[in-house]
Chain A
Amino acid sequence: MNDFSVKSVLKKNVMTIALFGIYVLFVVLALVFKSTNMLEPSIVSSLIEQNAYVFVLGAGMLMCMLTGGNIDLSVGSVVCFVGAIVGLFSVENRIIQMPLSVPVVLLIALGVGVAYGALLGFLIAYVRIPPWIATLAGYLAFRGLGTQILTKASETNALSLPNTVASGELSDIFSGRLFETDWGVMNIPCVIMGVVGVMVFVFITLSARNKKIRKGYQADPVWYVAVKLSLISAVIMFFTIEFSFDGGMPTVVLWILGVLLLYGIVTEKTTIGRHFMTVGGNAEAARLSGINNKRVMFFAYFNMAILTVIAALIVTVRTGAANSFAGQEYELDAIAACIVGGVSAYGGAGTVIGMVVGATLIGVINQGMSLVGVDQNWIKIVKGLVLLAAVVFEIVSKKSKEKSSKIQTKKSSSAEDEIAKAQAEIEKAIKDALDETAEPSAESVVTTES
């Protein structure tokens, strides 16, 4: 396992490499076909801002999936419902004449999450309703409920958040920029945050490695650490510099980082995370090892509901309105991010960082294809194929890994072949789609600018 040959390191990080490759591919394609520079600050920050909800929901979905491949189908509808509640209480409308203050609205939204999460967790963990059925009920009911509220409250079936809310307090919390400056001017606080971030990251990595060496454990080789540190630092600096020319660090980035760090630590470093993995890996073994399976299931869904509220606030504030079609297919985006990110569809295995790579990969494909001018329907087709390819890849590579470590495989080279094949498939699928649609969709340019 502790194999640091170049081949095995590449194999382990194949999705990240695929992400880099596809990103570069789209940058080139966009430049060649549309003379659009995908590296432009506004486009880069919109990639993050548009996909913020996927990262947040993905973290929750990851926890659900860890418990045994369970999913939550209701998150999209709950996003719509929470948005409707936020709109209802913060805008003067046909039902509520006196808008409430922002803190109260936030408390109400959180209350909705707590109540729904507790109910859902109870039904799934203690009444033992299969998760997909319990959440399918939520999927239907909350879409209806949200739409109903909006229909009753407004003639247009939507509640636009007034400036005091959309660009006021609520906006400061969930949207906008930190220490905002003009577009095109380097935002110094943002760059400082990036530099500090890199320094903290380097320091933590090196001190953990030193501790390992001091205690006499096997530490990662120097070249590996050096490459890892410089690549990740480069990514951090890339984003902060891009953000710095687009008015500053988007506030939502802090939310994303907060959620990802929290869940990264919980899944990797705590006993709670271990409990989730074990319940998904073998529920009976977990129970007989003194783990309270029911409590784990309860918290998986309770937690999902809380994160859904956060995602709903981010999305509602960003769009500046509560809509009846808000949050459509969000649950599927979160599930897809997890699956593409290597989270086991059967539970027991998966990492936050994997989910992030998966979410970004899908986000890049979305944005890149739109910029290149591919038709929305084709984007869906490609996303479907990518999802499928990721799962096929996971299962095939797991199989060949199992076989080779049990020393029962037929051909040793199959794993590499399969990786190459899977990558080729992804690229071919994208190219095919591009070729076919390059002509007809030339006029229907879809911009991702918001």
Chain B
Amino acid sequence: MAKVLLEMNSITKTFPGVKALDNVNLKVEEGEIHALVGENGAGKSTLMNVLSGIYPYGSYTGDIIYDGEVCNFHNIKDSEKKGIVIIHQELALIPYMTIGENMFLGNEQGSKWCIDWNKTYAEADKYLEMVGLTDSSKTLIKDIGTGKQQLVEIAKALAKHAKLLILDEPTSSLNETDSRALLDLMKKLKGEGMTMIIISHKLNEVSYVADKITVVRDGSTIETLDAAIDDISETRIIKGMVGREITDRFPKRHGVEIGDVMMEVKDWTVYHPEFSERKVCDGVSIDVRAGEVVGIYGLMGAGRTELAMSIFGRSYGIGISGELWLRGNPVTLKSPKQAIEAGLAYVTEDRKGNGLVLSNSILRNTTLANLKGVSNGTFIDKDKEYEVAQEYVEKLRTKTPSVDQLVGNLSGGNQQKVLLAKWMFANPDVLILDEPTRGIDVGAKYEIYCIINDLAKAGKSVVMISSELPEVIGMSDRIYIMNQAKIVGEMKASEATQENIMACIVGVSGEKNYADGEGSEA
């Protein structure tokens, strides 16, 4: 048996009114990749924050034994000194600084008063090579894609002489190619003796990379699975996470009649707003019928979001050409307002960035896109507004103490429900859902799928953009495959498999293209 590097014994952390961690035990052996899985709010991040000293010694009970000694970390610096480095989900890199500057931020090379830039960049290049990044360390962060930025974060951690690396959702903003590259890098680092803890919602990645999997549920560690001995299939992990077996991850739609063509886009071309010669959508033609769920699958940067937003009242892009037909009539939508009035809804992939007003209540967010529905045009009927918000909270089973709760205080899954409620209340005919289940846990995903099915049953047309293949195949009636600004394939969901969808993408680009990471910032 290998040496135990980290042992966390009966960690209990209480926040007022709630035990966030209840007697948690975690044992990590040297040189292994240990995955921490659990639903949102299960306590994974809290546990890692205890470990890295963000919650200082004394604010929790229990022992942390690291490398054979009991550790009482008072802050992040303490834990970093011991070689415990955490990489957070949201990247902490500064766009207008170079890779090298970012890597040694707070860890500057040279003397106390003067930074030795030659040493900085030489060291940076050394670590970049270790993570397999070929860009110069003098490149600005803003000029590299998110995939590479994640590698820079790892290089930065290595530069701090990390012995235990904690990665919090490292692939949440990466496309599949970049994710795979990152996971392979983790395996390579493991081979070199690094110990890693990964927190992830993507269970296929966890199965791929982890040696041990610890399941956290409701603030307690439920079980630790060993890849060498136990079954670590996705269904097995999910069972541990939710405490029951989800036999069907995608609820079936029964008796939904697919009607006439509701929306049709013909020969749609859009140019990038800043690089005006770059096409982000190139001759795209798609249609969707009433009661139908159409999936658009594509890697990040394929132009899916750009397509959706440009259709939605030209809210993205310039030089838009092509035709848009709604209910058999050609329409021109020049603003989101016109699009909403015409019966379109765009449920954004970036709910915090441009979907919700986090500093406002559930109530206000719910009625935002359809204030007319709760007012006489000028004066808002607050009682009616309350009623509407309450109705949607109940209908979508949003977990909240009241509709006056600020949206910023909700979990990701519940925020997504508020976002959906907002657009459902706008009563559109066509809903474009952009990555509707990104960053939310398994249970909430299932509920979102049920909502999508209800929408289809109600005769709405749903366009679902997703980069999760099983989701697209499991939820859609029909699938478009998009790559490099073009539609490269269309198939019925019943005929679709992961293999033939990927074949469409590979068929066009000719090779597995790692360049997509660079396109993804668009």
User: Which positions in A face B, CB cutoff 8 Å?
Assistant: 1-2, 211-212, 215, 217, 269-272, 274, 277-278, 281-282, 284-292, 344, 348-349, 402, 404-412
Contact among B18, B355, B372 with A407 in the assembled complex (CB-CB below 8 Å): B18
Q: Which residue of A lies closest to B363 (CB)?
A: A1
Q: Which residue of B lies closest to A282 (CB)?
A: B357
B362 CB to closest chain A CB (Å) equals 10
Is the beta-carbon distance between A407 and B359 smaller than 8 angstroms? no
Is the beta-carbon distance between B353 and A269 smaller than 8 angstroms? no
B87-111 interface with A by 8 A CB criterion: none
Contact among B339, B375, B408 with A402 in the assembled complex (CB-CB below 8 Å): B408
Q: Which residue of B lies closest to A273 (CB)?
A: B380
Is the beta-carbon distance between B408 and A288 smaller than 8 angstroms? no
Is the beta-carbon distance between A284 and B353 smaller than 8 angstroms? yes
A212 vs B405: C-alpha distance when bound (angstroms) = 20
Q: Does B212 contact A (CB under 8 A)?
A: no
Q: Does B379 contact A (CB under 8 A)?
A: yes
Q: Does B356 contact A (CB under 8 A)?
A: yes
Is the beta-carbon distance between B402 and A2 smaller than 8 angstroms? yes
Q: Which 8 A-B pairs have the closest CB atoms?
A: A284-B354, A281-B357, A1-B404, A412-B16, A290-B337, A289-B369, A407-B15, A282-B357
Q: Does B371 contact A (CB under 8 A)?
A: yes
Residues on the B chain within 8 Å of A408, using CB: 15, 20, 46
Is the beta-carbon distance between A270 and B378 smaller than 8 angstroms? yes
B360 CB to closest chain A CB (Å) equals 5
Is the beta-carbon distance between B379 and A285 smaller than 8 angstroms? no
A405-B336 contact given A286-B357, A412-B16, CB 8 Å threshold: no
Is the beta-carbon distance between B405 and A278 smaller than 8 angstroms? no
B376 CB to closest chain A CB (Å) equals 9
Tell me whether chain B's interface is mostly helix, strand or loop, or mixed: mixed
22 CB-based A-B contacts, threshold 8 Å: A1-B361, A1-B402, A217-B386, A271-B375, A277-B360, A278-B364, A281-B358, A284-B354, A285-B368, A288-B315, A288-B336, A348-B357, A348-B360, A402-B409, A406-B409, A407-B15, A407-B18, A407-B20, A408-B15, A408-B46, A409-B15, A410-B15
A99 vs B405: C-alpha distance when bound (angstroms) = 59
Q: Does B382 contact A (CB under 8 A)?
A: yes
Q: Does B42 contact A (CB under 8 A)?
A: no
Residues on the B chain within 8 Å of A212, using CB: 383
Q: Which residue of B lies closest to A349 (CB)?
A: B359
Q: Does B340 contact A (CB under 8 A)?
A: yes
Contact among B59, B354, B378, B386 with A410 in the assembled complex (CB-CB below 8 Å): B59
Residues on the A chain within 8 Å of B379, using CB: 269-271
Residues on the A chain within 8 Å of B313, using CB: 290
B288 CB to closest chain A CB (Å) equals 20
Residues on the A chain within 8 Å of B409, using CB: 402, 405-406
Q: Does B451 contact A (CB under 8 A)?
A: no
Q: Which residue of B lies closest to A398 (CB)?
A: B359
Is the beta-carbon distance between B369 and A290 smaller than 8 angstroms? yes
Q: Does B127 contact A (CB under 8 A)?
A: no
Residues on the A chain within 8 Å of B355, using CB: 285, 288
Residues on the B chain within 8 Å of A278, using CB: 357, 360, 364, 368
Is the beta-carbon distance between B312 and A288 smaller than 8 angstroms? yes
Q: Which residue of A lies closest to B368 (CB)?
A: A289
A211 CB to closest chain B CB (Å) equals 7
Q: Residues 402-414 of chain B: 1 if any A CB is under 8 Å from the residue's CB, otherwise 0?
A: 1011101100000
A290 vs B422: C-alpha distance when bound (angstroms) = 12
Is the beta-carbon distance between B360 and A271 smaller than 8 angstroms? no
Q: Which residue of A lies closest to B340 (CB)?
A: A290
Contact among B356, B404, B405 with A282 in the assembled complex (CB-CB below 8 Å): B356
A281-B360 contact given A217-B383, A292-B335, CB 8 Å threshold: yes
Is the beta-carbon distance between B386 and A274 smaller than 8 angstroms? no
B399 CB to closest chain A CB (Å) equals 13
Residues on the B chain within 8 Å of A411, using CB: 16
Residues on the B chain within 8 Å of A270, using CB: 375, 378-380
Q: Which residue of A lies closest to B411 (CB)?
A: A406
A272 vs B340: C-alpha distance when bound (angstroms) = 18
Q: Which residue of A lies closest to B15 (CB)?
A: A407
Given contact pairs A1-B361, A277-B360, A290-B341, enumerate 14 new A-B contacts (beta carbons under 8 Å).
A2-B404, A217-B386, A269-B379, A270-B375, A270-B380, A278-B357, A278-B368, A282-B359, A285-B354, A292-B335, A292-B337, A344-B359, A402-B409, A408-B15
Q: Which residue of B lies closest to A281 (CB)?
A: B357
Contact among B348, B359, B382 with A288 in the assembled complex (CB-CB below 8 Å): B348
A125 vs B277: C-alpha distance when bound (angstroms) = 28
Q: Which residue of A lies closest to B361 (CB)?
A: A1
A290-B359 contact given A217-B383, A284-B354, A404-B16, CB 8 Å threshold: no
Contact among B46, B315, B356, B422 with A287 in the assembled complex (CB-CB below 8 Å): B315
B49 CB to closest chain A CB (Å) equals 9
Residues on the B chain within 8 Å of A402, using CB: 406, 408-409
A289 vs B347: C-alpha distance when bound (angstroms) = 10
